[in-house]
Structure 1
């Protein structure tokens, strides 16, 4: 009975969200007013199999987030309502499915219904150079994001998985001119998105130049510095870069890593990309067993068919200790896996 009640609540909430947003906007006269509201999102699913480990009840996966379920598996449905006015607007971003639940993993601890809210914020363009954002927004750190349509690789990196996912608070973005930008933020503890259960606050900052970003975050004794950027080396060849260091002296937990993302556009409808990542950690348990470092290589193809992306992917994770198992259930330091994902954007 509880499951049925929650399902009805989610359906009613979704339709109410659409109705409340669209009715007053589309009731206005003029085509320009109608264009201010958009409704978009993605739907994704995948098939995943280990090549060097079991695929039955003993199935394992890399210690990174998402795309870890065996066989034919679900990603998420992502529904985004966006209203953009001349000065003010909002974003309501809802997620349904395993990927969405993993992305907002702390919200269900405090609310029976909050596990569908990925982002929920309002913003005010104070001037041409200053924007204030208030509410729950995805993190400003890192190269990869929650939406599978915005990442080249379908599986995610260790750096993404153990950095923050989302924040709730107030941030101010500044356009400094000459390709420079800056951001400062005051937020609840990292990934605790619905309210503040501890009375502690996090602070964040970002300095950007020509699509290169240096990010800072301090939350509950933990400090992270992150560099995210990339370069167009030619019309067809792009190189993305992410490097980060996290230290939590109170718990003696830290991690560091670097990931490179070379991507080559072979035609209008196909591209191929590689993610090479080195990740090391202390007392985090991210990799598995006694392992403290891992080198992971992910080769991904991306075929475009209209609004549909098909992504076949090979991945090899190699740890410094026996963090995985082989087909005989014996400990081993490496894991090879394959997946193919389908991501539809609307």
Structure 2
């Protein structure tokens, strides 16, 4: 799990595909019996700080303590290659990542050859029950690793504090046309390759979907440490989105995480407006707070506004983005490397999907 401080957040992050309604996973009678697909993306960006340093000097804070898009100047994202096979009853997904964003996304992969983001097999027992076994992206949260599935290119604090991926066994159960349930037994969060301390978590997701939107109520509970521990983590998370009309969409994510009195909570709104077939404008407005059982350690919070444009031409998407972060403590630095409580930055990203 990520360290719960603004000044020492770990940058090894998991995540990848959007959480879809559980009903999506069940085979339909009119689909092909067998199907192999291959897709993915590549991305790069340019980043500049208006009131902060733009070169890597000792003591310089170049970006908010969130995941990805943190390097100054022209920088690389990643190559994401996804192969999947869909049979009548069974199938698999192999999701591989290469590059800086991929290195940050895959747990404990820095300096290693580990490039696996997701790797799982599934079995549709019937049209109402699907079992998935292996390493899959988390069911909590609004944002994901892949820049193709996020409207904003930079990521939120709630995303960056995780969780991001799990290894285990989960069951997707279709309860009705609109309601579905997921139940899972999982390794400790972010320990996706193996289970070093023989600790497990229980996860569940209750989802409700309609033609205009969906809502997901998520829970996870279990011991999360790399060594045996008596302290269990509990996290509750609500993610929802609705089309207000043909051009306006509103998303929301709120989460609460606690381990032995320490933890974090937050809320973010994601309004988006489609101005034309090729251009949309979206805002992420987030409040994030960390808290501690020790009364001698003050809570820390941050308010962040991220305004993103999205212009699409064929399979290429260009995303200019303005971001303003304001914290309750001096977690940033100004151009003279003096501690500061705010940072204004700009980036422009290019994302190609195939």
TM-score (norm 2): 0.83
* Aligned match of 2:253: 242
Query: Among 214, 217, 227, which residue is 2:238 paired with?
Result: 227
Aligned length: 305
* Aligned match of 1:70: 72
- Provide Cα deviations, 1:247-283, integer angstroms capped at 9, x if missing partner: 001xx42000000000001000000000000000025
Unaligned ranges ≥5, structure 1: 1-31
The whole-number CA distance in structure 2 between the counterparts of 1:105 and 1:178 is: 36
* Aligned match of 1:207: 206
Query: Among 273, 289, 295, which residue is 2:303 paired with?
Result: 295
The whole-number CA distance in structure 1 between the counterparts of 2:206 and 2:68 is: 29
The whole-number CA distance in structure 2 between the counterparts of 1:63 and 1:332 is: 14
The whole-number CA distance in structure 2 between the counterparts of 1:340 and 1:322 is: 26
- Provide Cα deviations, 1:154-210, integer angstroms capped at 9, x if missing partner: 000000110211000000001111300100000111011111111011110011112
The whole-number CA distance in structure 1 between the counterparts of 2:42 and 2:233 is: 34
- Provide Cα deviations, 1:196-239, integer angstroms capped at 9, x if missing partner: 11101111001111220000011311110000011111110000
* Aligned match of 1:144: 143
The whole-number CA distance in structure 1 between the counterparts of 2:165 and 2:104 is: 12
Pairing of 1:279-294 with structure 2 (within 5 A): 279-282=288-291, 292-294=300-302
Q: Could you tell me whether the CA contact under 8 Å between 1:290 and 1:322 is conserved in 2?
A: no
The whole-number CA distance in structure 2 between the counterparts of 1:291 and 1:42 is: 39
Structure 1 position 106, deviation (Å): 2.8
* Aligned match of 1:9: none
The whole-number CA distance in structure 2 between the counterparts of 1:125 and 1:237 is: 35
Larger Rg: 1
The whole-number CA distance in structure 2 between the counterparts of 1:53 and 1:108 is: 27
Q: Could you tell me whether the CA contact under 8 Å between 2:237 and 2:255 is conserved in 1?
A: yes
Q: Does 1:105 align with 2:107?
A: yes
Q: Could you tell me whether the CA contact under 8 Å between 2:268 and 2:284 is conserved in 1?
A: yes
Structure 1 position 101, deviation (Å): 1.1
The whole-number CA distance in structure 2 between the counterparts of 1:293 and 1:122 is: 40
Q: Could you tell me whether the CA contact under 8 Å between 1:257 and 1:277 is conserved in 2?
A: yes
Pairing of 1:58-207 with structure 2 (within 5 A): 58=57, 59=60, 60-107=62-109, 112-113=112-113, 115-207=114-206
Report the 3-state secondary structure (helix = DSSP H, G, I; strand = E; otherwise coil) of the residue aligned with 2:126. coil
Q: Structure 1 pair 326/291, CA: closer, same or farther in 2 (3 Å)?
A: farther
The whole-number CA distance in structure 2 between the counterparts of 1:324 and 1:108 is: 25
TM-score (norm 1): 0.85
Unaligned ranges ≥5, structure 2: 1-31, 224-231
Report the 3-state secondary structure (helix = DSSP H, G, I; strand = E; otherwise coil) of the residue aligned with 2:275. strand
Q: Structure 1 pair 49/108, CA: closer, same or farther in 2 (3 Å)?
A: closer
Q: Could you tell me whether the CA contact under 8 Å between 1:270 and 1:302 is conserved in 2?
A: yes
* Aligned match of 2:27: none
Report the 3-state secondary structure (helix = DSSP H, G, I; strand = E; otherwise coil) of the residue aligned with 2:143. coil
Q: Could you tell me whether the CA contact under 8 Å between 1:291 and 1:319 is conserved in 2?
A: no
Structure 1 position 327, deviation (Å): 1.7
Q: Could you tell me whether the CA contact under 8 Å between 1:307 and 1:344 is conserved in 2?
A: yes
Query: Among 216, 219, 223, which residue is 1:216 paired with?
Result: 219
Structure with the largest fraction of helix: 1
The whole-number CA distance in structure 2 between the counterparts of 1:57 and 1:298 is: 23
* Aligned match of 2:334: 326
Structure 1 position 342, deviation (Å): 0.6
* Aligned match of 2:228: none
Q: Runs ≥4 in structure 1, deviation > 4 angstroms?
A: none
